[in-house]
Amino acid sequence: MQINNKRSSTLKAAFIALIAFTSVSIFSCTQDHQVPPGSSIDPKGPKPAWAPDIHDEMWAVIEKLLSYGDTPIPQLTPQQARMNHTVKDAVTDLLAENNITAPAPQVDTTGADIDVAGGKVHARIYTPRAGTAPYPVIVYYHGGGWVIAGIDVYDASAAALSEQVGAVVVSVGYRKGPEFKFPTAHNDAFTAYQWVLAHTDMLKANPAKVGVAGESAGGNLAANVSIRARDAKITLPKHQLLVYPVANSDTMSTSYKQYYNAKPLDVPSLYWFLGHYLNNISEAKDPRISLVAADLKGLPSTTIIAAQIDPLTTEGMLLNEKLQAADVQTTYQLYAGTTHEFFGTAAIVPEAKQAQALAASRFKEAFK
């Protein structure tokens, strides 16, 4: 009996060890699919002449985007350009190729149609799974030069803000040119903001904690919404997040010259966007487009996030200076080695994860 007990103990110990080893192995395999952003995704080729200092993870994304071989936007009609691949596509494909599963954002989504002058626009509503209602609410405007892209292309940015701020995010699918010329997108943006203010109960949102955010052309729209809310004397956003916003008509700026051929946004594409949204190019000097010429006094605290390798970098810096001169509290952060459109690439690009964290922290501070 004693010998059998020893054998039983030995077998039991071996079995426990096997279970432990198997558990560790399974855990390790699971963790291998949750790779920290960019840790195993590197570019395949040398850095481009237009960005010798681009960071590796950022270049991997842009390199993938260029690998699709799409016709450059300035050579396309707007309808054709809307069919081109996007930075979102590049990120999705790189993750799949490297067998990486990005964590799903902890948000729920629904949709709503918003009545605007002459029609309707669709909005996607993100609600965080954590926390309790009423939540703060952020009205978000996507990029795309007022001509291309939409709420699907910028889903990662809106979802990240919802999850990290703990806020309802209403992403607005405003109408675009050339079908709807300036100032249609600007008017839609403000109407959507008013709709959010009128529907905070439905959104489970706190009407005293409202913010706006946007990227590129959407950053311009977000700032315009704050200006119009001030002028209309309605609820002013508590904070505005402007990610590499369109803010000036100066085509001879330092960054226009230095990053003329940058990707995914180059200067010829900027001219193309303006040409398809504006009624005539002289409207580029309108303060709704050239924000640096607008009255910026009395606007909410502002965070400006900028990419180094971007024709819009100079105007973002100038807008920050103009806001400060108007006594607006600002936070300005330039992310070295990044390009336009980096904000939504946090699954791969470390600087995007940092930028999202900064944006979330500034909104949380404003919503206290």
Tell me the per-residue pLDDT of 301-344, one tens digit each, with 9 for 90 and over: 999 999 999 999 999 999 999 999 999 999 999 999 999 999 99
CATH number, position 359: 3.40.50.1820
6 belongs to a structural domain: no
10 belongs to a structural domain: no
Asked if residue 137 lies in contact with residue 169, where contact means CB atoms within 8 angstroms, the answer is yes
**Average of per-residue pLDDT across 13-41:** 40
pLDDT range class, residue 39, cuts 50, 70, 90: low
318 belongs to a structural domain: yes
90 belongs to a structural domain: no
pLDDT digits (tens, 9 = 90+) for 255-303: 999 999 999 999 999 999 999 999 999 999 999 999 999 999 999 999 9
293 belongs to a structural domain: yes
Strand partners, 135: 205
184 belongs to a structural domain: yes
Count of alpha carbons within 13 Å of 181, Cβ hemisphere only? Answer: 8
pLDDT range class, residue 22, cuts 50, 70, 90: very low
Q: Is the pLDDT of residue 150 over 60?
A: yes
49 belongs to a structural domain: no
Please provide the average confidence, as pLDDT, over all residues in the chain.
91
Domain count for the chain, please give it. 1
Q: Find the domain containing 362 and state its range.
A: 107-366
**Average of per-residue pLDDT across 212-232:** 99
d(C-alpha 167, C-alpha 363), whole Å: 9
Lowest mean pLDDT among 3-7, 46-50, 154-158, 292-296: 3-7
66 belongs to a structural domain: no
Q: Which of 41, 39, 54 is nearest to 94 (CA)?
A: 41
pLDDT range class, residue 247, cuts 50, 70, 90: very high
Confidence (pLDDT) at 10: 40
d(C-alpha 219, C-alpha 246), whole Å: 7
Q: Is 101 helix (H, G, I), strand (E, B) or coil?
A: coil
Asked if residue 302 lies in contact with residue 240, where contact means CB atoms within 8 angstroms, the answer is yes
Confidence (pLDDT) at 255: 98
| pTM, to two decimals | 0.90
The dihedrals phi and psi of 122, each to the nearest 5 degrees, come to -100, 145
